[in-house]
């Protein structure tokens, strides 16, 4: 069969069979073979062959890596000096990335998230027997990233981290381009439902009914102030929360933004009800009377997984009563929307939730145009309708928008 053109290294021969599969062989001409060197070696060496070779970038990588190893061994058998740069691997690039100022400046929590994603990349590199990143092509990189097509968020993160790692190849002068940067990875489409007051009441009731009053208080607090859950889990009496003044004051862990604001009387009562002697953190798991936090080295961090498990139990109870299926993290977006409905400006919203101005605008752009409450507010501001509570003819019980002319 005729050899197929693939750039796989010296002495690698690819022959296509009639059934469309390929034979990949490492064949050294007899005149160039050292004594005892086999005439033919099937590739890849360890991994079983899979179907059509030209449509399998991972297998091509494994063949290329095996060919590199065999060429080294061949050179040694001939008594030649091996000058192939064996240190040029993704592992080397990852180590170089960890030494950059940008990586060191990341929050420890962010670093751990990146490291978890990096494992996918390094495991793939090991599977392909550590291919040379200077020969990595866009099609091969894209084939790897596409492994996560069924997990859009993971796919996006793999592409982000892979790009940062491959940027080191440019910084080290190994190559002039980054093939990962040319991969188009669409942002995952996420469904976020906006919590309403009745949802908050139902879920808070559900949390109380399963014996988790602090989860009920957390839901109410998120409804009012919309902070990151990782900040809320670490709130302490006397530090972030001043019970005498019913005021929160703290720096957000992720952005460093300083925020100070008061809470409602209802929220204040809930926090007082759940307080007990010796309790340091505002929120804890009632099963173990311990906060949703963990110690990582010398740092104390939020244990959002443990908190999510308790919320899942409350959600199950809420769903039994006919509630909507909602997520705890959606309360942060919901707070932005509810503040906008209350006619707060973008800077006012950002000052409470700690979002950037751009993030607030993006959330409002996505969720507010289809919101009837905002439309009603706009009509009232124009003087075309009254506020419902100001209209003596409105029926307070039915909750319908006011339609009378000003």
- Provide the mean pLDDT of the chain: 83
Highest mean pLDDT of the ranges 47-51, 71-75, 317-321: 317-321
Rounded to whole angstroms, the Cα distance separating 350 from 347 reads 5
Q: CA of 49: how far to CAs of 23, 71, 219, 343, in Å? A: 9, 21, 54, 63
Element (H, E) at 360: helix 357-367
Find the radius of gyration of the CA atoms of the chain: 30
pLDDT at 406: 29
Residue with tokens 């990233």: 145
What is the pTM for the complete model shown?
0.61
What is the predicted pLDDT for the residue at 120? 95
Which tokens hold the place of 44? 């890849």
Q: How confident is the model at residue 374 (pLDDT cuts 50, 70, 90)?
A: low
Q: Is the peptide bond before 13 cis (omega within 30 degrees of 0)?
A: no
Q: Which two tokens stand for residue 347?
A: 């800077």
pLDDT tens digits, residue range 18-48? 887 888 888 999 888 888 888 888 888 776 6
Report pLDDT for 202: 97
**Strand, coil or helix: what is 249?**
strand
């Amino acid at each position: 069969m005729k050899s197929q053109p693939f750039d796989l290294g010296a002495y690698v021969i690819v022959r296509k069979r009639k059934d469309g599969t390929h034979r990949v062989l490492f064949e050294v001409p007899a005149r160039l073979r050292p004594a005892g060197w086999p005439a033919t070696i099937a590739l890849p060496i360890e991994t079983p062959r899979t179907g059509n070779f030209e449509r399998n970038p991972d297998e091509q990588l494994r063949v290329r890596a095996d060919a590199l190893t065999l060429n080294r061994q061949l050179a040694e058998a001939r008594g030649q000096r091996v000058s192939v740069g064996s240190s040029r691997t993704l592992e080397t690039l990852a180590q170089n990335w960890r030494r950059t100022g940008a990586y060191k400046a990341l929050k420890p929590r962010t670093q751990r998230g990146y490291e978890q994603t990096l494992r996918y990349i390094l495991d793939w590199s090991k599977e392909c027997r550590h291919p040379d990143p200077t020969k990595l092509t866009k099609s091969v990189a894209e084939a790897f990233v596409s492994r996560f097509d069924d997990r859009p968020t993971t796919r996006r993160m793999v592409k982000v981290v892979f790009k940062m790692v491959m940027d080191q190849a440019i910084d080290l002068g190994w190559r002039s381009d980054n093939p990962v940067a040319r991969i188009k990875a669409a942002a995952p489409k996420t469904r976020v439902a906006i919590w309403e007051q009745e949802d908050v009441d139902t879920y808070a009731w559900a949390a109380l009914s399963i014996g988790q009053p602090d989860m009920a208080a957390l839901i109410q607090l998120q409804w009012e102030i919309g902070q990151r859950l990782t900040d809320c889990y670490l709130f302490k009496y006397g530090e972030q929360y001043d019970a005498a003044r019913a005021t929160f004051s703290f720096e957000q862990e992720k952005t460093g933004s300083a925020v100070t604001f008061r809470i409602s009387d209802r929220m204040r009562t809930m926090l007082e009800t759940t307080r007990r002697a010796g309790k340091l953190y505002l929120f804890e798991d009632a099963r173990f009377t311990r906060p949703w936090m963990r110690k990582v080295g010398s740092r104390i961090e939020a244990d959002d997984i443990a908190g999510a498990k308790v919320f899942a139990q409350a959600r199950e109870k809420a769903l039994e009563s006919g509630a909507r299926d909602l997520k705890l993290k959606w309360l942060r977006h919901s707070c932005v929307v509810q503040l906008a409905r209350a006619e707060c400006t973008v800077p006012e919203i950002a000052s409470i939730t700690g979002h950037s101005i751009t993030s607030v605008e993006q959330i409002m752009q996505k969720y507010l145009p289809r919101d009837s409450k905002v439309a009603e507010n706009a009509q009232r501001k124009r003087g075309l309708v009254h506020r419902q509570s100001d209209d003596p003819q409105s029926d307070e019980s039915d909750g319908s928008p006011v339609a009378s002319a000003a």
